[in-house]
Amino acid sequence: MKKLLLVALVAALVIGFMAPSTTLAQPRNVTFIVNTATVPDTVGTGYTVQLRGSHAPLTWGNDTGGGMNHIGGDYWSKTLQFNQGDTVFFKIFVGSDGWEADIANVLGSVNNRVYVIANRDTTLPVQFFNNVGNGTAQYFRPWTPVADTFMNVYFRTNMLGVIQGGLFGFNNNLDTVGIRGGGPAGGDLNWSPTFYLTRESPAANGGSFGVPANTFWSGRVRMPKSGVNVGESIQYKFLIGYDWGRDELQGQPNRNFVVPTNKRDTTVYFSYFNNTRPTLRVNNYQARITYRANLQRALSTGGFAHGDTLVVRSGYFGTTTEPGKQKMMSRVGVSTIYTVIDTVLTAQNQTFDYQYYLIKNAADVRENYYNFFYSGDIPAEAERRQLIVPGNDFVINDTATSITQARRQPVFPNTRTLARSVTVRWEVNIKPAYYQVAAGDTLFDIQGSFHIAHKDSVYPAGTWINGLATGGWQTWGLTLQGDTTRKMWDDGTHGDQVAGDSIFTRVIFASPDSLGIGTKGQVGQIFKFGLKGGDNEGGRGGFGNNHSANIDDSGPTFVLRDQWGSINPAFYNRWNYDLGIPVTSVTEIPGVPYVYELKQNYPNPFNPVTRIEYSLPTASFVTLKVYNMIGQEVATLVNEDQKAAKYVVPFDGKGLASGVYFYKLNAGKFTSTHKMVLLK
């Protein structure tokens, strides 16, 4: 009997070892397919296209194992192995810093893409890079679905080379671009009439995209499946408007695409109109640059610590021959100054773009920066630091303490997970919005129609907070208006301290156990405010122009105070963000100086707003005037008696032509003149 029991026990153990255990992780292969037809750039075969995410082999940094392989046209593929049951968060990343916008995923949140690993090997449906906007469905298409009897074909062409060369008399703002071809009867592609494409809008994401999005024209063409055969070559060509005299490739063979297997929906790899490529900038001027950055503010806000790896990267958007070149910075003694010297090939008197990064836990952490004074055509470039190359040996001092300066100190979101749950009282002073609208400006909603054009509508409009700080980006407009979890209050309730003081409040519980990246689970927060639920805070600033702040998790509660529009003080020039008071014409800075002084305006060059600071050691009658190159007076900024103090005066040159101007201070017997450059 004992022998039989022993045999049974051994058999059970053997069976147990042989049978697959439900508690052991089962590896599964997942094949991802990405389409880059919606990336706001000319994505070539050598372009970087990555998946970044929460589970190995994916990471959220450049060391991710999700580097994708080009499989033809706009299509990229990667097969990765995960454990069955894993919930994998991920996003598409292209170029040197091109994150897509947030996705409305299958878990019901607006943040990262997500896939729960199934109990079998899986090939996921095609996923398009999201440039549409936050809240787009994970498996969206850049066209509206039609009956299954039609094949959808997405065409795209770039007009930048034509615009640069002045070809075909093309005007990107007035003309239209279309397509004609030999498609089947009953479809959209015919040799007559023209099927018109749509000019693309700025993409709803940041990143290093070097081609203006509005120079792309694209659209979906429907073709009856019954009228085409798999493998059939269909000819087509692009043209301007309906005029055959402005069709591309005149005297050359037409373009063609091949009907794919199963007559499935597809995208046709982009082309340059008339095969005219844009002219790239020639960078053959060698410049020696000394970078100096003060990390005092980054240290005080918790986004940086001595010992962290700090680097500067340069050359974005073709401003050097080595885009994304990286140099590690070193601390100067025991100070808060970090510095490095680099030699680059760029162009004198042309723009030079660069950015500070932390490298932490093998992931890149980009500084939170927006160029309030940017005047170019590429929205994403406004997220880079920029200057005009003055010579072959110069110093960049990013040390300004004021948040309104282009050369302000870098700050970083702290990617560390919260050490504890913190109840955060978010406060925003919306008076800057009131004073700016009262001065005649309109706060335009860049993603909708909730524009604020009258000062008396500022306070009644109500204020909402949006962004990763609230758990993810909510859709702006009516959807945000209806979201009571993001509504802010100025009525003495819901955590608001004083009713009617223009300080709107929202209490948010920040917990370390939030899933995904950039959610309430980390110290560093990204957010933005909106009147009436519209995306209208940025002034003339677009996508990527957001607030960044770090939660102090040393205690159970924290108050985070902010000012409306501090993300773009160049636009909100009726408010002094350093002093927290309105600007009428002249703002007094506390303290009595020892000497008369007229400082160089800042920024310089400027577009179109700059600040002029001067000092009076004694009470004086003061005039401050601006003159053009031939000595004509163009503006009187000050003409009054003033007490001894320091003063700052805004100057808005929006009605003036680009060029050199002079500003002259007369105070008592003191006279001083400086030159400034308006560069539009």
Summarised one tens digit per residue, pLDDT across range 70-99 is 999 999 999 999 999 999 999 999 876 678
Assign 3-class secondary structure to 147-195: CCCEEEEEEEEECHHHHHHCHHHCCCCCCCEEEEECCCCCCCCCCCCCE
Whether 12 has a pLDDT exceeding 50, the answer reads no
Residue 235 pairs in a beta bridge with 256
| pLDDT of 211 above 90 | no
Question: Which of the four pLDDT bands, split at 50, 70 and 90, describes residue 313?
Answer: very high
**pLDDT at residue 466 greater than cutoff 60:** yes
For the chain, give the mean pLDDT. Answer: 87
Domain boundaries 150-275, corresponding CATH code: 2.60.40.10
Give percent of the chain with pLDDT exceeding 70.
Answer: 92
CA nearest 451: which of 461, 460, 459? Answer: 461
In this predicted structure, what is the pLDDT of residue 548?
84
Question: Is residue 27 over pLDDT 60?
Answer: yes
The yes-or-no verdict on residue 296 having pLDDT over 90 is yes
Convert 62-74 to b/e letters by CB count within 10 Å (16 or more is b). Answer: bebebbbebeebb
Model pLDDT for residues 644-673, shown as the tens digit of each residue: 888 888 888 878 998 999 999 999 899 999
- For 110-118, what is the mean pLDDT? 91
Q: Domain 285-398 maps to which CATH number in 3.40.50.720, 2.60.40.10, 1.10.10.10, 3.40.50.300?
A: 2.60.40.10
Check if the beta carbon of residue 417 is closer than 8 Å to that of residue 550.
no
Cis peptide before 57 (omega within 30 of 0): yes
- Residue 374 tokens read as 């940017």
Q: Is it true that the peptide bond before 605 is cis, omega within 30 degrees of 0?
A: yes
Average of per-residue pLDDT across 262-281: 90
> Is pLDDT of 14 > 50?
no
What is 585-678's CATH topology? Immunoglobulin-like (2.60.40)
The better pLDDT of the pair 451, 109 is held by: 451
Candidates 3.40.50.300, 3.10.20.70, 2.60.40.10, 3.90.230.10; CATH matching 27-137: 2.60.40.10
Distances (CA, A) of 122 to 27, 64, 119, 429: 12, 21, 9, 50
> DSSP letter at 312?
E
pLDDT at 518 over 50: no
pLDDT of residue 146: 87
Contact call for residues 323 and 316 (beta carbons, < 8 A): yes
Q: Are strands 633-642 and 597-598 parallel, antiparallel or unpaired?
A: unpaired
What average pLDDT does range 182-210 have in this prediction? 83
The whole-number pLDDT of residue 209 equals: 56
Cβ neighbours around 230 below 10 Å, total? 12
- Beta bridge pairs of residue 548: 526
- pTM beyond 0.75: no
Whether 678 has a pLDDT exceeding 80, the answer reads: yes
- Please state the φ and ψ torsions of residue 347, each to the nearest 5 degrees: -135, 130
The strand ranges marked E within 64-149 are 66-67, 69-72, 75-83, 87-94, 98-99, 103-104, 110-111, 113-116, 122-123, 127-128, 136-137
What are the start-end ranges of the H helices in 605-648? none
Q: What is the pLDDT of residue 536?
A: 95
Specify whether the backbone of 224 is left (phi greater than 0), alpha (psi in -120 to 50) or beta.
beta
Q: Is the pLDDT of residue 11 over 60?
A: no
Q: Where in the chain is the domain with CATH 2.60.40.10?
A: 27-137, 150-275, 285-398
Q: Which amino acid, one-letter code, is at 233?
A: S
Question: Token pair of 157, please?
Answer: 């062409």
pLDDT digits over 213-237, tens only? 889 999 999 999 999 999 999 999 9
Tell me 362's DSSP state.
T
Q: Higher model confidence: residue 352 or residue 7?
A: 352
pLDDT band at 158 (very low <50, low <70, confident <90, very high): very high
Residue 679 DSSP SS3: coil
Residue 516: per-residue pLDDT? 42
Distance between start and end Cα atoms, the chain? 98
CA distance linking residue 475 with residue 345, whole number of Å = 43
Q: How far apart are CA 495 and CA 513, in angstroms?
A: 24
Could you give the C-alpha distances from 396 to 284, 367, 380, 660, in angstroms and in order? 20, 16, 22, 22
What pLDDT score does 122 carry? 96
Confidence band for 514, pLDDT divided at 50, 70 and 90? low
Residue 109 has pLDDT above 80, yes or no: no
What pLDDT digit, counting tens, does each position of 30-61 carry? Answer: 999 999 999 877 787 778 899 999 999 999 88
In this predicted structure, what is the pLDDT of residue 342? 97
pLDDT at position 520, please?
A: 57
The pLDDT score that the predictor gives to residue 8 is 43
**307 closest CA partner among 298, 315, 316:** 298
pLDDT range class, residue 479, cuts 50, 70, 90? very high
Q: What gap in Å lies between CA 209 and CA 376, rounded to an integer?
A: 13
| Residue 196: Cβ-neighbour burial (10 angstroms; 0-12, 13-18, 19+) | middle
pLDDT category of residue 126 using cuts at 50, 70 and 90: very high
Residue 467, pLDDT > 50, answer yes
Characterize 484-517 residue by residue with b for buried, 16 or more Cβ atoms within 10 angstroms of its Cβ, and e for exposed: eebbbbbeeeebbeeeeebbbbbebebebebbbb
Rounded Cα distance between 351 and 353, Å, is 7
Q: Of residues 97 and 254, which shows the higher confidence score?
A: 254
Contacts of 580 (CB under 8 A, 6+ apart): 429, 563
- If one counts every other C-beta atom within 10 angstroms of the C-beta of residue 360, the result is 18
Q: What is the mean pLDDT of residues 341-346?
A: 96
Burial string for 399-420 (b: 16+ CB within 10 Å, else e) reads bbeebbbbbbbbbbbbbbebee
Percent of the chain with pLDDT over 90: 56
Greatest CA span in the chain, whole angstroms?
119
Q: pLDDT, tens digit, for every residue of 159-171?
A: 999 998 889 989 9
Q: Are 603 and 405 in contact (CB under 8 A)?
A: yes
Mean predicted confidence (pLDDT) in 405-412: 90
Specify the pLDDT at position 204.
Answer: 62
pLDDT in tens, 576-596: 887 677 776 676 766 678 889
pLDDT (tens digit per residue) in 600-611: 988 888 877 788
CA distances from 516 to 53, 207, 468 (A): 9, 20, 10
CA dist., res. 562 & res. 547, Å (int)? 9
CA–CA gap between residue 67 and residue 49 (Å, rounded): 6
- Rounded to whole angstroms, the Cα distance separating 644 from 614 reads 11
Which residue, among 268, 266, 269, has the nearest Cα to 150 in the 3D structure? 266
Start and end residues for every CATH 2.60.40.1930 domain found in the chain: 585-678
What are the b/e assignments for 17-40, b being 16+ CB within 10 Å?
Answer: eeeeeeeeeeebebebebbbbbbb
Q: Per the structure block, which two tokens stand in for 74?
A: 């706009």
